[in-house]
Amino acid sequence: MTFYNLQKKDLKTAGIVLADAFIEDPIWEAFIQKTGGTRKIAPLMFETPARFCLHYGKLFATSPAMEGIAGTLPGHLSSMSFLRILRSGAIFPAMSIGMKAGKLMKQIFEGIEKDRKELNAGFDFNYLQVIGVRKTFQHQGLGKKLLNDIVSEADLSGKHIYLETETLENVAMYEKYGFKVLRQITLPVLNLPMWEMRRPPISV
């Protein structure tokens, strides 16, 4: 399958696509409720990691129509420090979601970044930052095609893949690809589970 590499002009659309893909995601539902916000902030929330991946890693879609999108980062660039957020342009959508939401995101997710660094010490890995398919295109195998490409690339380069996911359904799906759960955590503030997983490269 030929994929489409996103460009800067696609970033706002990418935020909309990913917001639609995660519209029923338990973490993002709870986050919006906690901030007292509306679904209108969701595209901005997802445009932030999209911009980060475009600048520091890889951001690609199933086609120019962007039915599904995935973003990966080299492990050593996966930490979203303020300076990197600024340099990538991710600061603009991040600021647009508001101070309250920004502080809450930091409070919720800073532990995840610490875990990622700790659990992957000594490993050469790619970080699967985000992967999602528009709701109307789900259950058509598009997410699997994106993931297959990520896995194949990691195998060819001899790298591990690390990710976090928030549902047992996703855990089971990733386990079929060779991922293993390293740690299950409970996110602060939201009190929801998150599974941290890694997949070793397979010789090809």
Indicate left, alpha or beta for 12 from its phi (over 0: left) and psi (-120 to 50: alpha). alpha
pTM of the full structure: 0.92
- Residues 81, 109 contacting (CB under 8 angstroms): no
> What's residue 204's pLDDT?
58
What angle, rounded to 10 degrees, do the helices at 42-56 and 26-35 form?
120
Please report the domains of the chain, with CATH numbers, ordered by start residue. 4-161 (3.40.630.30)
* List of residues 6+ apart from 51 with CB closer than 8 A: 11, 88, 89, 90, 92, 93
| Average pLDDT per 10 consecutive residues for the chain, totaling 204 residues | 94 96 89 72 88 96 98 95 81 69 81 96 97 96 98 98 97 98 95 97 82
